[in-house]
Structure 1
Amino acid sequence: MTEATDVDTQTQDNAEKLKETANEHFKSQNYEQAIDFYTQAIDLNPNVPAYYGNRAFAYIKIECFGYALSDASKALQLDRTFLKAYYRRACANMALGKFKLALKDFEAVHKARPNDKDAKAKYKECQKLVNQIAFQRAIAVEAKTVDLALEVESTLENMKVPNEYDGPHLENGQVTEDFMNDLLTAFKDQKKLHQKYAYQIMIAIKKYLQTQPSLVDISVPLDTKFTVCGDIHGQFYDLLNIFQLNGRPSADNPYLFNGDFVDRGSFSVECILTLFGYKLLYPDRFYMSRGNHESVNMNQMYGFEGEVKSKYSSKMVDLYTEIFNWLPLCHCIEGRILVMHGGLFSEDGATLDSLRTLERNRQPPESGAMCDLLWSDPQPQPGRSPSKRGVGIQFGPDVTHKFLKENKLDYVIRSHEVKHEGYEEMHSGKCITIFSAPNYCDTMGNKGAFITLTGGDLKPNYTSYEAVSHPNVRPMAYANPLLSMLS
């Protein structure tokens, strides 16, 4: 236990009252207010491990996993026997895909309470996941020369569609407007696309994406509309609502979807196949950027892997991984607006040309330009600081303005963060966040939004909207069981 700071009784009592207020906000899912009151309690009395442990849990709820790790570790510095802090740190590490680190904390709790069935269950579940990942990596090394898309393609001719199948059919393997209309109707009615057609779409999209650079340039002709959407996160019925509000994608109604198409929401398969279908139908008028959730670790934890296995197969999971590795990392609109999922860079000097040739056919690394594009966030203060998420960095207005000036850009658009109105302008309007999943995970109460630009002035116009109802399948229904165990 670290040395305590002297705090008088009255101050201790005041801190406890602040903690109780914070707990009430937490119970009401007002996590940011809860964090504020936990922080005030810590400022008055920094000696109480529970304050840090509780704040860590609130940070986890708003996906500030880096801050949660710091708080949980601080709680354990104060009291090595504070078992909840081990759980909080394990949860944050699990969320970041750092499963071996999480396992150490679960093991610590299990050793402290060997007869605790709950502690044992968490330890065993995490151990199983670590072993599974090690096995998968061993197989991947052995099969690294195998192109799964080619392997699946060779089997399609023998993959029969039964006569009783009443869903949409591809015409000679090609996506058409009629097919997309039928697909949206089928998905809305909770029908499943036959696996042969799903595979055909996936194989075709991989072939197309392999021809693209890591930064894709977009042209928006004078006086035409262009729409940018943020995170969708498997909320298919809210995706349909975007198309209802703003029109379905077409040659005259282009879109850019800016990453995190899958995970958390339990209709991720429907979302990704819809977006892939439109990309094939309008390849030069429909665009998709990779998000941090288009990755193996995130998909294992937050539901996409489980959903694909439930609706299709493990082999299809692996094919999605191949495809996600080829998604572009960012887009540049008319040479004036850079759009990426996360944010700007941990080091100065990034250029559009360097981004065009960035190696992307891999899982996201833990540092470097690719990591920053997928994970970083803006901050109000100047400079750079460690990420609140535990991956990437936070960058200030000076970083944004310098990058824009050096690359002759007007502003950047990014996603990656829940915003109350679905959007937020920072850095004097030069860094815009757009988030398109309203009432995120059915709990956050936020609006979704999209941006429309008009060729010529390219000024952002925002449309916010509320969540719509969806079938009675809860978010995270397919997520790794450890997440529900830790919640």
Structure 2
Amino acid sequence: MRAARAARALQSKEDYNQAITFYTQAIDLDPTVAAYYGNRSFAYLRTECFGYALADANKALEIDPKYIKAYYRRASSYMALGKFKLALKDFETVTKVHPSDKDAKAKYTECNKIVKRIAFEKAIAVDDHKSVLDSIDIETMAIDDDYDGPKLEDGVVTLQFVKDLLKTFKEQKKLHRKYAYQILLRVREIFMKQPSLVDITIPDGKKFTVCGDIHGQYYDLLNIFELNGIPSESNPYLFNGDFVDRGSFSVECILVLFSFKVLYPDHFYMARGNHESATMNQMYGFEGEVKSKYPLTITFTAQMADLFTEVFNWLPLAHCINNKILVMHGGLFRDDNVTLDDIRKVDRHRQPPEEGVMCELLWSDPQPQCGRSQSKRGVGTQFGPDVTKRFLQKNKLDYIIRSHEVKNDGYEVSHDGKCITVFSAPNYW
């Protein structure tokens, strides 16, 4: 069928949104072909529409219970949604039918490890606030004689250090482990003192920049600073979540951003995105990248990835600019009665829950039609212009800024100008 062929061609070019359009056309013409749903499920997975991906995988299996790719797609959807036991069951089905499939076997092994680790952590959990840092003696960490990268003097981040760091990472060199840990320690202390909703005051006529998703695209981050100026007290920034995953330089991006936060704590802001979570970092590459760039050694057995997770748990969930603009990564809520005070009261020091205010701040998306609908992502909600209008009126706000969705122009204005989406990772996918 022509639509299906076009969809496959687009998918091979990683144009997943257009592929979804053509697979939908193919399904409309013949809704009995399991492969159409299975292939569209894959495209939905790539665009992080995990709810839609799961629904398509289920539909494919309803049509053809022996369609193994659908089990794989469903398992991947469950993994992304943190439903690891259900994912494990489907991966097991795939490996039994195709025991020589190395990728399926690797996914099964990975998922099995996660299930066992969660059970183990639950069994030994005593103090949720115990830090990885408690088992690390940073001061005694030795600096190799041949290390010629940026150095912190007495653990202090300076502008010169950050400039040297930008150059070092541009040349694809590493920051020494000791300095990385010192940055993480300092930025954790800063975030711990901040509320879940941070209020920002910008004087009239002064510049303030909001950036969306970066997703480990370091050279695009450098381009932002080249075009818009390096962060400073007179050139403040807010980076609105999803700093890591997918891109190959997530470690570099996050260490630069954290360094700027330490350098300018009152003029550089960072909000948590849905990718600042353990599950997403396991699925989309950040955890593996950290372990690759800062591997365990005989003398150093603590996981840096675990410390990143700790820091992410302390990231603020939203920012309010001049009491008029609310900025969050995802979007609005299932409940019309949510107020700014409700956001302030959120206990954010944890992994994102599957529902509630914190979940919706990280995962929700706007939709063009009025009302609310089930989230394409499987968590959060989709909200219409009427929902936005009521929220703004109730909280005496002018508009919201959010990120979370790819926009070809880097931004999109919707909901009668009251909802602005900013996405800062070009050539995404």
TM-score when scaled to structure 1? Answer: 0.83
- Structure 1, 130-139 or 83-92: larger mean CA deviation: 130-139
User: Superposition pairs for residues 422-437 of structure 1, below 5 Å?
Assistant: 422-437=410-425
Task: State which of 389, 401, 404 in structure 2 corresponds to 1:401.
Answer: 389
User: Superposition pairs for residues 228-267 of structure 1, below 5 Å?
Assistant: 228-267=210-249
Tell me the residue number matched to 1:340: 328
- Structure 1, 61-70 or 95-104: larger mean CA deviation: 95-104
1:59-114 deviation line (CA, Å, top 9, x unaligned): 12222111111011011111211111111111222233322211111222334456
Tell me the residue number matched to 1:28: 13
Tell me the residue number matched to 2:185: 203
Q: Does 2:153 correspond to 1:171?
A: yes
Q: Does 2:208 correspond to 1:223?
A: no
Q: 1:179, 1:302 → 2: CA distance?
A: 30
User: Superposition pairs for residues 374-393 of structure 1, below 5 Å?
Assistant: 374-393=362-381
Tell me the residue number matched to 1:213: 195
**CA 1:122–1:351 in 2, change beyond 3 Å: closer, same or farther?**
closer
TM-fit CA distance, 1:309: 1.4
TM-fit CA distance, 1:119: 5.0
Q: 1:244, 1:226 → 2: CA distance?
A: 16
1:111-155 deviation line (CA, Å, top 9, x unaligned): 44567666555434432343344334445x145352333443xx1
- Structure 1, 167-176 or 37-46: larger mean CA deviation: 37-46
User: Superposition pairs for residues 36-435 of structure 1, below 5 Å?
Assistant: 36-113=21-98, 120=105, 122-139=107-124, 141-142=125-126, 144=128, 146-152=130-136, 155-313=137-295, 314-435=302-423
**CA 1:217–1:31 in 2, change beyond 3 Å: closer, same or farther?**
same
SS at match of 1:403: helix
SS at match of 2:202: coil
**CA 1:296–1:138 in 2, change beyond 3 Å: closer, same or farther?**
farther
Output the amino acid matched with 2:233. Answer: A
Tell me the residue number matched to 2:299: none
1:395-454 deviation line (CA, Å, top 9, x unaligned): 11111111011111111010111111111111111111101111124xxxxxxxxxxxxx
**Greater Rg, structure 1 or structure 2?**
1
1:285-337 deviation line (CA, Å, top 9, x unaligned): 10000011111111112111111112224521111111111110000010111
**CA 1:319–1:110 in 2, change beyond 3 Å: closer, same or farther?**
closer
Q: 2:102, 2:285 → 1: CA distance?
A: 25
- Structure 1, 200-209 or 20-29: larger mean CA deviation: 20-29
**CA 1:20–1:145 in 2, change beyond 3 Å: closer, same or farther?**
closer
Give the CA RMSD over aligned residues: 1.8
Output the amino acid matched with 2:28. Answer: D
1:435-483 deviation line (CA, Å, top 9, x unaligned): 1111124xxxxxxxxxxxxxxxxxxxxxxxxxxxxxxxxxxxxxxxxxx
TM-score when scaled to structure 2? Answer: 0.94
Q: 1:318, 1:18 → 2: CA distance?
A: 45
1:4-56 deviation line (CA, Å, top 9, x unaligned): xxxxxxxxxxxx33323322332333322222222222223222212211221
Q: Which runs of 5+ in 2 are unaligned?
A: 296-301
Tell me the residue number matched to 2:298: none
Output the amino acid matched with 1:189. Answer: E
Q: 1:123, 1:210 → 2: CA distance?
A: 36
SS at match of 2:208: strand
Q: 1:190, 1:341 → 2: CA distance?
A: 29
SS at match of 2:259: helix
Identity %: 66
SS at match of 1:338: strand
TM-fit CA distance, 1:161: 2.0
**CA 1:115–1:159 in 2, change beyond 3 Å: closer, same or farther?**
closer
**CA 1:392–1:211 in 2, change beyond 3 Å: closer, same or farther?**
same
Output the amino acid matched with 1:42. Answer: I
**CA 1:244–1:122 in 2, change beyond 3 Å: closer, same or farther?**
closer
